[in-house]
Amino acid sequence: MLTYILQRLLWTIPVLLAVAIITFTLMHLVPGGPWDSDKRLSAQAEENLNQRYGLDKPLPEQFFDYLTGLAQGDLGVSYRNVNRPVRDIILDGASVSATLGLAALVLAVVVGVSVGLLAALRQNSAIDYASVGLVTIGASLPSFVLGMLLLVVFSAELHWLPTGGWGSVEQAIMPVIALAILPAAYLARITRASMLDVLGQDYIRTARSKGLREQAIVVRHVVRNGMIPVLTVIGPVAAVLLTGSFIIESLFAVPGVGRTFVTSIGARDYGVIMGTTLFYTIIVVLANLAVDIAYVFVDPRIKYE
């Protein structure tokens, strides 16, 4: 197991390199630059800034300099935040995005798995039909549309919750719900399909014929064997939620990584764009690795040599 984990972590290096090359190339292909603004700088001022940050060098040399700094743990500086290190910007936003994403992930997993399991155990009943209907609505409703509906109902009309910001439970309720509904619906559909497949297996009928209690069958066999496809889905979902949602953080003025990333793209802040993209890549890789490790505990038949 340890060898497998080390190999997966080593594979992160070429993955990061590939993402860095693609991001750096696309970033410089987009028209405009970090000094474009409503108030145009003089040609001399732009030249001085480009010289200061090394943007006057050829692109291959700029990329090599960035990789050299990256190997030393330096993600560069922000051009629009008075030379503030990109690492500090990401760390500040990451704590907010992680808190928001973790709350949304817990809500999505609890609601999605519970609804999917209940629908599977009550197949073709009124509960099953109602669950499938709600899940379909949840899966069809984009998060930004749900977020705006929540703002209209609970902020503009009822005045129960603040429109945005971060720091209190009241401010977190709407963004957490808006972020969790879509993955919860997706998890519910995957859970229902997986549990129905397990319930139709021969060993479930054998367990029932032996007189085992239904609760024991569900807990020991149905849930445990049906969770593998669910875990596969939870990995990418966790990565997306924990790194932040661009739209939801912007909509509710949450100062997370997602909002920072959107702002940096509009400002052509190259250092922040590169840093946040690599940060997202690492989170996705680690989330997928965590899912692979969780397989071993859910299904002892799975072993990594």
In a domain, 206, yes or no: yes
Q: What's phi and psi for 212, nearest 5 deg?
A: -65, 145
Q: Which helix (H) or strand (E) holds 186?
A: helix 169-199
Distance CA 269, CA 271 (A): 6
Q: Is the pLDDT of residue 205 over 60?
A: yes
Q: CB 218: neighbour CB atoms within 10 A? A: 19
User: Which residues 6+ apart lie within 8 Å of 115 measured at CB?
Assistant: 131, 134, 135, 184, 188, 191, 192
The beta strand positions in 160-231, using DSSP E, are none
In a domain, 148, yes or no: yes
Distance CA 123, CA 13 (A): 46
Distance CA 51, CA 28 (A): 17
Are 23 and 274 contacting, i.e. CB atoms less than 8 angstroms apart? yes
Choice between 115 and 139, residue whose per-residue pLDDT is larger: 115
- Structural domain that includes position 162: 87-256
Q: Tokens 């619906």 identify what position?
A: 185
Q: Which of 261, 208, 284 is nearest to 8 (CA)?
A: 284
User: Which residues 6+ apart lie within 8 Å of 156 measured at CB?
Assistant: 163
Q: Is the pLDDT of residue 182 over 60?
A: yes
Residue 159's beta-bridge partner residues? none
In a domain, 184, yes or no: yes
CATH number at residue 153: 1.10.3720.10
Average pLDDT over residues 107-116: 91
DSSP-derived secondary structure for 38-84: SSPPPHHHHHHHHHHHTTTS-HHHHHHHHHHHHHTT---B-TTTTT-
- What is the pLDDT at residue 38? 55
Q: Is the pLDDT of residue 135 over 70?
A: yes
Sign of torsion, CA 173 178 180 185? Answer: positive
pLDDT band at 27; cut points 50, 70, 90? confident
Domain count of the fold of the chain: 1
User: Which residues 6+ apart lie within 8 Å of 279 measured at CB?
Assistant: 90, 94, 243, 257
In a domain, 66, yes or no: no
In a domain, 110, yes or no: yes
Q: Tokens 């609970």 identify what position?
A: 154
In a domain, 114, yes or no: yes
Indicate the Cα dihedral angle 89, 90, 93, 96, nearest 10°. -140
Return the structure tokens found at 290.
């965590």
In a domain, 179, yes or no: yes
Phi-psi map region of 135: left, alpha, beta (phi>0 left; psi -120 to 50 alpha): alpha
Secondary structure of residue 254 in the 3-state scheme: coil
Are 96 and 256 contacting, i.e. CB atoms less than 8 angstroms apart? yes
pLDDT band at 174; cut points 50, 70, 90? very high
Tell me the pLDDT tens digit for each residue of 213-237: 777 777 777 777 777 788 778 877 8
In a domain, 5, yes or no: no
Tell me the pLDDT tens digit for each residue of 35-73: 776 566 677 777 787 787 777 788 888 888 888 888 888
Residue 10 identity: L
Residue 116: CA count within 13 A, CB half-sphere: 27
Average pLDDT over residues 73-82: 80
- What is the pLDDT at residue 216? 76
